[in-house]
Amino acid sequence: MATPPLPTSHTESDGSAVIRVLSYNIRSMRDDTHALARVITACAPDLVLVQEAPRFFRWRKKLARLAAASGQVILTGGGTAAGPAILCSLRATVERTEDVLLPLTPGEHRRGFATAVVRFGGARLGVLSCHLSLRQDERYEQGGMLLDRLAGMGVEHAVAGGDLNERPAGRTFARLTEGLQDCWATAPWGSEDTWTRTAPAQRIDAIFATKGIEVLGCGVPLGHPGVTESDLRAATDHLPVLAALRIPAG
């Protein structure tokens, strides 16, 4: 059975904007980059919240190649944010960007946030891409830092997405949903689980939005026009999360 289509991106007469946001762990582009670009292109996102972007040798060139192949441009992040990055369509007007490195726990991977403030028509939006720690205690602290970062961006409306390394029943997930909408839980669409390489399948990737944003649908775009199961499996080891959101003007 085909997945019902999400609303297309557009600006409404009151200045609000309907946008598509895609969150995607791309495993440093170590898999089939043509399949990866096809998935992103088919989802027609206005923003792509990337995790595990290339970080080392010629990382900017690799990320730029993916952006060009999928109809996007690099907004911020990559090696300068320790992996998270943000791509955007030309529909976005960029106000500012900032890459944030988080405190380093000895023996663990460096983590960071890629952040930006953008406008779509009359709608202004804070954006954050993250990849949280595998360690429960560190992950919980990073969840608090994520909320603090969104609160300090000086915007009324914001969206955050990424690889949480945790299921919805976890402490960090619950901490985030105290102040943000879990977009899948608010308006489930498509499929749920984002990690299917080992049993049981799990939802460990998510998109969150501040309370004033209307979630029109969110989930893994299985069955979405142009997105094939073979491309999803060839592109990377995670499945992406796609959301359609209505951002109020102002």
pLDDT at 5: 87
pLDDT at 2: 60
Nearest-angstrom CA–CA distance, 24 and 236: 9
Domain ranges of the chain: 20-247
Second CATH level (architecture) for the domain 20-247: 4-Layer Sandwich (3.60)
pLDDT by residue for the chain (250 residues), tens only, comes to 467 789 999 999 999 999 999 999 999 999 999 999 999 999 999 999 999 999 999 999 999 999 999 999 999 999 999 999 999 999 999 999 999 999 998 888 899 999 999 999 999 999 999 999 999 999 999 999 999 999 999 999 999 999 999 999 999 999 999 999 999 999 999 999 999 999 899 999 999 999 999 999 999 999 999 999 999 999 999 999 999 999 999 8
Nearest-angstrom CA–CA distance, 194 and 150: 24
CA dihedral 155, 102, 25, 148 (to 10 degrees): -30
Return the number of other C-beta atoms located less than 10 Å from residue 146's C-beta.
25
> With the C-alpha atoms ordered 178, 105, 82, 154, is the resulting torsion angle positive or negative?
positive
pLDDT (tens digit, 9 = 90+) per residue, 159-217?
999 999 999 999 999 999 999 999 999 999 999 999 999 989 999 999 999 999 999 99
| pTM beyond cutoff 0.85 | yes
> Which among 159, 217, 225, 223 is positioned nearest to 188, based on CA atoms?
217
Q: Are 88 and 48 in contact (CB under 8 A)?
A: yes
